[in-house]
Amino acid sequence: MNSGKVFRFIVITFLMSWTLALVFYLTGLNWIGPWGTVLGIVYMFMPLLGVVIVQKTSGENIFKSLGMRWKINPWWIMAWLLPVVLAAMALGVALLFPGVEYSPGMAGFFERFSHLLSPEEIEQMESQLAEMPLNPFFLTLLQGLFFGITVNAVAGFGEEAGWRGFLQKELEVFGFWKSAFIIGTIWGIWHAPIIMQGHNYPNYLYPGVIMMVIWCILLAPLFGYIRIKSGSVIGPSILHGSLNANFGLSLMYIKGGNELTVGMAGLAGFIVLALVNLIIYLRDPDPGQVEIK
């Protein structure tokens, strides 16, 4: 491990990212809206830019350090489809919680967005859904799968180039599980400025920061495992894109709960990810190291 490069990468990435979030906040723009989406996309590319700066100033090949291989393999397919399974599992787990119930008419889903839309807009959306020839779940699923492996995966690469491309290789001296914990912690803290502006937990800003760190720690072994088994940073980039694109599936048909308890980034998702990590550990307690070719 080159500790100097790791330190520079973290400092540079955090400095650029947090400055960007601060400027956004000082301009008075609202995270919940189109400008928030723009910031989110740009924010996701800061880890990639951090890698470029560190590798360039070190006189090393930028893309070689990422382990970018473009040969499609089954792990790419796994990365693409797995978030759908995780979202369905999180929905099922949430239904076991007190005060959470199945809502086939998506009443709970619309309720969650009531602060963004007027009653007339919600009523219009409900009537449009009722007139759709395709069930809203399948329409959302198809859209999620399409965007998950296209534009969302490109945005996901902006992050994964740093976390699973550069950092996972540098920290592999600590072993798979310890390095995943370290990366997950850094990854989660990196999100803090946008969490404080309403990302993922708009009604629970301060607890949301802690929740995001926990979520990233639980996600890190899965992302790291896909990175190793797929032999490329493209694998976790697809996983990242598909996870973001299919996030809403875990909330579509439930009513009750809140951002801290239901959904992929809530307690329900945490339970699902803990189970996935247990399966990974039982199946492959020592997944090996990242290959760079």
Would 289 be classed as within a structural domain?
A: no
Residue 78 pLDDT > 80, yes or no?
yes
pTM for the model: 0.91
Would 121 be classed as within a structural domain?
A: yes
The mean per-residue pLDDT over the stretch 106-133 comes to 66
- The boundaries of the domain holding residue 218 are 3-283
What was the pLDDT predicted at 24? Answer: 92
- Per-residue burial over 141-153, b if 16 or more Cβ lie within 10 Å, else e, is beebbebbbeebb
Q: Give 245-263 pLDDT, tens digit per residue.
A: 999 888 888 888 899 999 9
Would 148 be classed as within a structural domain?
A: yes
pLDDT category, 80, cuts 50, 70, 90? very high
What was the pLDDT predicted at 242? Answer: 96
Q: How many domains does the chain have?
A: 1
The mean per-residue pLDDT over the stretch 141-166 comes to 93
Mean pLDDT in the chain? 88
Would 290 be classed as within a structural domain?
A: no
Q: Is the dihedral of CA 148, 153, 158, 162 positive or negative?
A: positive
pLDDT category, 70, cuts 50, 70, 90? confident
What was the pLDDT predicted at 145? Answer: 92
Q: Are 125 and 117 in contact (CB under 8 A)?
A: yes
pLDDT category, 157, cuts 50, 70, 90? very high
The mean per-residue pLDDT over the stretch 11-19 comes to 96
What was the pLDDT predicted at 291? Answer: 67
Q: Report CA dihedral (290, 74, 144, 35) to the nearest 10 degrees.
A: 20
What was the pLDDT predicted at 207? Answer: 95
Would 256 be classed as within a structural domain?
A: yes
| Cα gap 100→176, rounded to integer Å | 36
Would 157 be classed as within a structural domain?
A: yes
Would 8 be classed as within a structural domain?
A: yes
